[in-house]
Structure 1
């Protein structure tokens, strides 16, 4: 799978799930999926992860644009044979673009996955966290990939 297709798939699936939540629920409405474990809870998050720094939409929009630009730049520089590394950055790119689209259109990010023991999040957040965890693994344990970018 192409890095660009993966990033686009993450973006589209994220936006589609957020659309379903936005049109089918009202803010703060919560629907149990698995009682006492998993809920769909519609939150309009004007902050970052875990709702920190609420209301800093311009700041997060600017940071998101810079991160997206850097990801695109590096994806182009990664040799084709480093597919795994390209896919990792594509997960982060698709997630960042999904949350940026929300900030630009609504002034907030739509969050809805609620385990009640963790702040409410969305699929873009999941892609970013998985991508960053895999990136950390690459940086720590697979340094020859990083040297190929020099």
Structure 2
């Protein structure tokens, strides 16, 4: 049991650790190479579509609720706790759900570290007129979308299994029409 739990958490922490490292490294590169508000584009033709811009964000992902820094710190801690609590309950076969929670844990932890150690979150990816974001924000969003998709697929699989192998109200299998 202990070995199984360690393996489960190893998978989760492995994914989250890679995300946190990538998130913190990219934020560090932006903070050390661009002044706040300064942008960089490798090719001029790319400017209307994508650029790197140094932005400090005190609110939530994508700059929403800019004055809610303290509440988002508390929310991040609660989300991290919930992921750590529920993760072992997800069957190993549901790999997409497990990856999704690893992405979300890494994103939440990356932005939490930034809030605690910098007092603000460094955002830098600017695509068109969309809000500026960072690696952690994208992992939280991709993880949420992946989790919803995985839950939808699992629900469909479960319904197909139930239709293929119906169970009576009392919990016994319906064996009508089966020779035994």
Superposition TM-score, scaled by structure 2 size: 0.75
Q: Which has the larger radius of gyration?
A: 2
Residue 51 of structure 1 pairs with residue 63 of structure 2: yes
Residue 144 of structure 2: aligned partner: 132
Ranges in structure 1 where 5+ consecutive residues have no aligned partner = none
Tell which deviates more after alignment, 81-90 or 42-51.
81-90
Q: How does 1:104-115 map to 2 (within 5 A)?
A: 104-115=116-127
Residue 7 of structure 1: aligned partner: 16
C-alpha displacement at 1:141, in angstroms? 3.0
Does structure 1 conserve the Cα–Cα contact (< 8 Å) formed by 2:17 and 2:106?
yes
Ranges in structure 2 where 5+ consecutive residues have no aligned partner = 1-9, 159-180
Matched residue of 1:40: which SS?
Answer: strand
C-alpha displacement at 1:42, in angstroms? 0.3
Q: Distance in 1 between matches of 2:62 and 2:139?
A: 15
Q: Distance in 2 between matches of 1:29 and 1:132?
A: 31
Q: How does 1:1-150 map to 2 (within 5 A)?
A: 2-33=11-42, 34-143=46-155
Q: Distance in 2 between matches of 1:111 and 1:139?
A: 30
Q: Distance in 2 between matches of 1:127 and 1:3?
A: 14
Tell which deviates more after alignment, 137-146 or 73-82.
137-146
RMSD (CA atoms):
1.9
Task: Return the structure number with greater relative CO, CA threshold 8 A, min gap 6.
Answer: 1
Q: Runs ≥4 in structure 1, deviation > 6 angstroms?
A: none
* Number of corresponding residues: 146
